[in-house]
């Protein structure tokens, strides 16, 4: 069964239609990479899934639950506010600009949500945070404030912070675009490790080599629509759409 | 008696009256900050009615003279509503100054909150924090450092504005100064009095910059 099922998503900012009938399905354990030019609506699509933006119309089904069922902006989802919040917790998000909490140490950044949202005990939250920080290779930075970290390290903390809520799905919005080239590798390595343990992921990225490696499916977005989707080797080696071809020529 | 000795003799009564000046300033700024925080949160709230009400509050109390607000609390309010007569001049001054400072501090706090990168709120939401939790644990703590310099400024403005209470016959530093001036028939008293105001502003300026430094640990 698909973990994410987006059906005919439309999203407008005022008169500007940014998503036009976007449908996408992501199965359990699947890694889907979204590529496409600037302004295509990639970030907006990701953000509608976890309700950082509301959709104008369409349906979003997460883990079999109808999270959104909208027409003209009115949500007819049968879920209560509480059920809705619970489903949103199944999605973790990593941002292009990290958005790490600067007034909290690395450990506090990762502990915060389990403490206040999951109401975990301090000891349990701490143990989980230390474990996750170890897994992203930052055990020596536990008590350090983010300003003392490189961009790559901050992004790895952000990944650990999202994972601390034990989401079933991870959304990545250009996780390496704000990084110096020499720091991209360490972040991609962490994401690859997640892929290898079966995490379901939806990744907006311009790293074609990485997408070729890790993606089960690649989606090409253009002007608010999905123009082409398929296995990475098909999309990258034999794109069917003229616009996909032009885009790939520009980024490769 | 030479002039220096005369001035030295005025210092104890001036310091005594300064208690009113200082306590009124501290009380109004502290209470004004508490009220101002709620007004600021109301102002940026998604609830249109709440936001509008808070805007109106800020508009009224920043847009009319503080002296008028003080007179209103002390003279006009009891005429309009006798039950609201305040017997105590100091209490009346505290109310007027708090109401006024709350309006100024609400704008200071709103600006500080809105200066925090919107990505912080998004990250908090994506982790499942409620709006209130995000405000409390993420946004407000980060705005505090940006709040300190303008609140320090506000404090010094209030400290000087407390001299207005001499108009409702509350004996603050300013009132005591003019009393001494008329009884001793000399303007010399303005020297030690001004010196006291300057000492107070200097001390509080130092205190606020110390607070600001202390809040910069994570940068
Ligand atoms: N909050 C907003 N208000 C108005 N317009 C917006 C808003 N957010 C995005 N847009 C517009 O929506 C369109 C799609 O933006 P989006 O950020 O989703 O593109 P993107 O594919 O992620 O691009 P990029 O590669 O530059 O990140 C753009 O034209 C953008 O200007
Ligand atoms: Mg984007």
* Model confidence pLDDT, tens digit, residues A27-80: 999 999 999 999 999 999 999 999 999 999 999 999 999 999 998 778 888 899
Structure confidence by residue, pLDDT tens digits, A96-114: 999 999 999 999 999 999 9
Structure confidence by residue, pLDDT tens digits, B34-85: 999 999 999 999 999 999 999 999 999 999 999 999 999 999 988 988 888 8
**Which residue is closest to B143 within chain A, CA to CA?**
A103
CA–CA separation, B34 vs B94, rounded Å?
14
Q: Give the mean pLDDT of A125-150.
A: 96
What is the per-residue pLDDT for B2?
85
Give residue for tokens 């989606």.
A219
Nearest Cα to Cα of residue B48 among B56, B59, B37:
B56
Least distant ligand from the CA of A173: 2
CA–CA separation, B66 vs B72, rounded Å?
10
CA–CA separation, A99 vs A92, rounded Å?
13
**Which of A17, A19, A43 to mutate to test ligand 1, by most ligand atoms within 8 A of the CB atom?**
A43
Percent of chain A past pLDDT 70, that is, above it, reads: 100
| Ligand 1 binding pocket, CB closer than 6 Å | A 13, 16, 18, 36, 38-44
Identify the bridge partners of residue A249 per DSSP, sorted by sequence position.
Answer: none
Q: pLDDT confidence of A147, banded at 50, 70, 90?
A: very high
Count of A-B CB contacts under 8 Å: 60
Tell me if A145 and B217 make a contact (CB, 8 A cut-off).
yes
Q: Is A144 on the interface with B (CB under 8 A)?
A: no
Q: Which residues of B touch A52 (CB under 8 A)?
A: 122, 125-126
Nearest ligand 1 atom, CA A204? 22
- Name B131's Cβ contacts closer than 8 Å, sequence gap at least 6: B125
Which CATH number belongs to the domain containing residue B102 in this structure? 1.10.3720.10
Interface test with chain B among A116, A155, A202, by most B beta carbons within 10 Å: A116
Tell me if B119 and A95 make a contact (CB, 8 A cut-off).
yes
Identify the bridge partners of residue B98 per DSSP, sorted by sequence position.
Answer: none
Q: pLDDT confidence of A148, banded at 50, 70, 90?
A: very high
What is the per-residue pLDDT for B214?
87
Identify the bridge partners of residue A66 per DSSP, sorted by sequence position.
Answer: A61
Restricting to B residues 159-218, those with a Cβ less than 8 Å away from any Cβ of A are 217-218
What is the per-residue pLDDT for B123?
98
The complex's ipTM works out to: 0.94
Q: Which residue in the set B122, B129, B218 is minimally distant from A52, CB to CB?
A: B122
Q: Which token pair is A35?
A: 């590529």
Distance A41 CA to ligand 2 centre (A): 7
Q: pLDDT confidence of B110, banded at 50, 70, 90?
A: very high
Distance from the Cα of A214 to chain B's closest Cα (Å) equals 24
Range of the domain at B21: 3-216
Interface test with chain B among A51, A103, A157, A163, by most B beta carbons within 10 Å: A103
Structure confidence by residue, pLDDT tens digits, A209-233: 999 999 999 999 999 999 999 999 9
What is the per-residue pLDDT for A71?
87
Is residue B183's pLDDT more than 80? yes
**Which of A14, A39, A97, A206 to mutate to test ligand 1, by most ligand atoms within 8 A of the CB atom?**
A39
Distance A47 CA to ligand 1 centre (A): 11
Per-residue b or e along A211-231, where b marks 16 or more CB atoms closer than 10 Å to that residue's CB: beebbebbbbbbebbbbbbbe
Is residue B1's pLDDT more than 80? no
Per-residue b or e along A92-130, where b marks 16 or more CB atoms closer than 10 Å to that residue's CB: bbbbbbbbbbbbbbbbbbbbbbbbbbbebeeeebbebbb
Is residue B130's pLDDT more than 90? yes
Distance A18 CA to ligand 1 centre (A): 7
What is the per-residue pLDDT for A164?
98
Distance A38 CA to ligand 2 centre (A): 7
Q: Which residues of A touch B125 (CB under 8 A)?
A: 51-52
Distance A232 CA to ligand 2 centre (A): 21
What is the per-residue pLDDT for B87?
84
User: pTM, whole model, 2 decimals?
Assistant: 0.89
Tell me if A112 and B137 make a contact (CB, 8 A cut-off).
yes
Nearest Cα to Cα of residue B181 among B190, B172, B173:
B190
What is the per-residue pLDDT for A45?
98
Residue pair A206/A175 in contact by the 8 Å Cβ criterion: no
Q: pLDDT confidence of B22, banded at 50, 70, 90?
A: very high
Residue pair A225/A17 in contact by the 8 Å Cβ criterion: no
- Name B118's Cβ contacts closer than 8 Å, sequence gap at least 6: none
Tell me if A147 and B218 make a contact (CB, 8 A cut-off).
yes
What is the per-residue pLDDT for B108?
97
Q: pLDDT confidence of B218, banded at 50, 70, 90?
A: confident
How many structural domains compose chain B? 1
Percent of chain B past pLDDT 90, that is, above it, reads: 85
Whole-number average pLDDT of chain B: 94
Percent of chain B past pLDDT 70, that is, above it, reads: 99
Distance B175 CA to ligand 2 centre (A): 63
What is the per-residue pLDDT for A232?
95
Structure confidence by residue, pLDDT tens digits, A159-204: 999 999 999 999 999 999 999 999 999 999 999 999 999 999 999 9
**What DSSP string describes chain A?**
-EEEEEEEEEEEETTEEEEEEEEEEEETT-EEEEE--TTSSHHHHHHHHTTSS--SEEEEEETTEEEEEEETTEE-----HHHHHHHHTTEEEE-TT----TTS-HHHHHHHHHHHTS---HHHHHHHHHHHHHHTT-GGGTT--GGGS-HHHHHHHHHHHHHTT--SEEEEESTTTTS-HHHHHHHHHHHHHHHHTT-EEEEE-S-HHHHHHH-SEEEEEETTEEEEEE-HHHHHHS--SHHHHHHHHHH-
Q: Whose CA is nearest to atom 13 of ligand 1?
A: A39
């Amino acid at each position: 069964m698909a973990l994410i099922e987006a059906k005919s998503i439309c999203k407008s900012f005022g008169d500007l239609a940014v998503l036009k009938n976007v449908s996408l399905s992501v199965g359990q354990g699947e890694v889907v990479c979204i590529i496409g030019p600037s302004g295509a609506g990639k970030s907006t699509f990701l953000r509608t899934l976890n309700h950082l933006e509301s959709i104008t119309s369409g349906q979003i089904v997460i883990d079999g639950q109808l999270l959104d069922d909208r027409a003209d902006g009115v949500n007819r989802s049968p879920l209560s506010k509480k059920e809705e919040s619970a489903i949103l917790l199944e999605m973790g998000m990593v941002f292009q600009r990290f958005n790490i909490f600067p007034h909290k140490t690395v450990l506090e950044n990762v502990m915060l949500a389990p403490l206040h949202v999951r109401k975990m005990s301090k000891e349990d939250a701490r143990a989980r945070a230390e474990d996750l920080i170890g897994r992203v290779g930052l055990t020596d930075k536990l008590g350090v404030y983010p300003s003392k970290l490189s961009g790559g390290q901050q992004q790895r903390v952000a990944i650990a912070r999202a994972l601390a809520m034990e989401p079933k799905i991870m959304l990545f919005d250009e996780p390496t675009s704000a990084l110096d080239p020499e720091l991209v590798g360490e972040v991609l390595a962490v994401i690859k490790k997640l892929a290898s343990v079966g995490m379901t992921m939806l990744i907006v990225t311009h790293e074609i080599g990485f997408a070729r490696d890790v993606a089960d499916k690649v989606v090409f977005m253009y002007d608010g629509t999905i123009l082409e989707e398929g296995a990475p080797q098909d999309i990258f080696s034999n794109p069917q759409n003229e616009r996909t071809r032009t885009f790939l020529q520009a980024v490769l | 008696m030479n002039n220096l000795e005369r001035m030295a003799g005025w210092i104890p009564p001036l310091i005594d009256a300064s208690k009113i000046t200082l306590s009124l300033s501290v009380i109004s700024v502290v209470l004004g900050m508490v009220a101002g925080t709620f007004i600021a949160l109301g102002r940026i709230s998604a609830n249109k009615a709440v936001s509008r009400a808070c805007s109106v509050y800020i508009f009224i109390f920043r847009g009319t003279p503080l002296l008028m607000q003080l007179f209103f609390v002390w003279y006009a309010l009891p005429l309009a509503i006798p039950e609201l007569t305040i017997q105590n001049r100091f209490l009346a001054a505290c109310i007027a100054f708090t109401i006024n400072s709350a309006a100024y501090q609400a704008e200071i706090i709103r600006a500080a909150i809105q200066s925090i990168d919107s990505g912080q709120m998004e990250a908090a939401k994506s982790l499942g924090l409620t709006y209130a939790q995000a405000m409390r644990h993420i946004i407000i703590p980060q705005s505090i450092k940006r709040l300190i310099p303008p609140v320090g400024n506000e404090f010094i403005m209030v400290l000087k504005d407390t001299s207005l209470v001499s108009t409702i016959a509350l004996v603050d530093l300013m009132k005591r100064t003019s009393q001494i001036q008329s009884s001793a028939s000399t303007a010399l008293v303005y020297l030690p009095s001004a010196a006291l105001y300057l000492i107070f502003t200097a001390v509080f300026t130092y205190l606020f910059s110390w607070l600001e430094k202390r809040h910069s640990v994570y940068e």
